[in-house]
Amino acid sequence: MNMSKRSHKFLLLLITLAAGLLLTPALAQTPELHLRLSRDWGYGGPNGDIQGVFSFHITGTEDLTAVEFYIDETLAGRVDAPPWKLRFSTDDYPLGLHKLYAVGYAPDGRTLKSNVIVQNFVPASAAWSFIIKFTIPFLLITLGVPALLYWIDRKRNPDKYSGHGGAFGGAVCPKCGCPFPRHWWGLNLGGKKYDRCPHCGKWSMVGRASKTELKQAAFDCGLEKPPINAPASRPEDDLHKRLDDSRYFPRD
C-alpha cells in the first residue's frame, strides 16, 4: 500500500514537471509591453522630478492594434499604428506625483498592460532652482579651476607668456611668417598642433617656437619695432675706428 502511494506521488510529480516544461515556452512567448519616457524639452531632475515636454515609448512587441497611454486614470492619448509613441506636456496636468502606464490591444482581443512609471510633475520654477543650485556652481568650478591654474602658472613662469607665446607656447605661421600663441583647441598631432593663424586665417601644422624665433618673426612681420639701442660694433668696425683715430695723433 505504501509503495502504491509513493508511486502515485511520483507520477503526479512527473506530470507537474512535464506540464511546467510545456507551459514555459508558451509563457515566454507572451508579449509584454515595456514603457519608457524620453525628454523632448524640459527638465528632468532627481527623485523623478520632471517638467516640460516628454514622450511615451512602448517597446516589446509590434503585434498590436492600438495603444492607450494614461496618466493616473486620465487618458493622455491613443495611438493606432506604430511607432507606439505619444508626446505630452507636464504643464497640462496637476503638480505632484503621477502614475504613467500604457494599455495595449492585441489582434486576438487580449489586453496588455505595461509597467508603471511614477514621476513627480514640478513647476518651471523648480527647474530654474535646480539650475541655479547645481549647474551654475558646476560651471564655475569647471571654468574657474583652469583659470586659476592658468593665473598661477603665469605668475610663476612670466617668461613663458611673454612676447607672442601662451599657455601652449607660441608658433610661427609657415604661411605668413607671423608669430601667434598656440590655442588650446588646436589638434595635437605628434608634438605639433594643427592650428589656425589669426593673422592670415590659414590652418597648418605648427610646433613650439623659441622666444628668439618669435621675437624675430614679430620684427619680420612688422608686429614689433626693433630696439632703438645702437647695434653692437663689429671687429672690422673697431679696426677702422682705430685707424681713423691714429691719423690725428699729435707729432712731437
- In this prediction, residue 241 carries a pLDDT of 60
**Whole-number Å distance between alpha carbons of 206 and 60:** 54
In a domain, 23, yes or no: no
| Grid coordinates belonging to 78 | 491613443
Average pLDDT, the chain: 79
The domain boundary residue, chosen from 108, 126, 144: 126
**Total domains, the chain:** 2
**Whole-number Å distance between alpha carbons of 233 and 173:** 32
- In this prediction, residue 238 carries a pLDDT of 60
More confident position, 232 or 177: 177
Q: What domain range includes position 186?
A: 158-221
List the CATH number of the domain containing 109: 2.60.40.10
Q: Which candidate, 14, 67, 59, 65, places its Cα nearest to that of 38? A: 59
H or E element, residue 161: helix 158-161
Max avg pLDDT among 18-27, 67-76, 220-229: 67-76
Mean predicted confidence (pLDDT) in 201-229: 83
Q: What is the pTM of this model?
A: 0.46
**Whole-number Å distance between alpha carbons of 66 and 82:** 8
In a domain, 162, yes or no: yes
The domain boundary residue, chosen from 126, 146, 180: 126
107 & 62 share domain: yes
Q: Tens of pLDDT along 44-57?
A: 887 889 999 999 99
For residues 191 and 209, the answer to whether their CB atoms sit within 8 Å is no
Q: How many residues does the chain have?
A: 252
52 & 118 share domain: yes
Q: Tens of pLDDT along 11-54?
A: 555 555 555 544 444 434 444 789 999 999 998 887 889 999 99
In a domain, 134, yes or no: no
In a domain, 94, yes or no: yes
In a domain, 180, yes or no: yes
114 & 168 share domain: no
43 & 100 share domain: yes
In a domain, 26, yes or no: no
- Asked if residue 229 has pLDDT above 60, the reply is no
In a domain, 108, yes or no: yes
- In this prediction, residue 27 carries a pLDDT of 39
Q: Which amino acid is at 211?
A: K
114 & 163 share domain: no
**Whole-number Å distance between alpha carbons of 42 and 127:** 8
In a domain, 133, yes or no: no
Q: Tens of pLDDT along 105-128?
A: 999 989 999 999 999 999 988 767
- In this prediction, residue 1 carries a pLDDT of 46
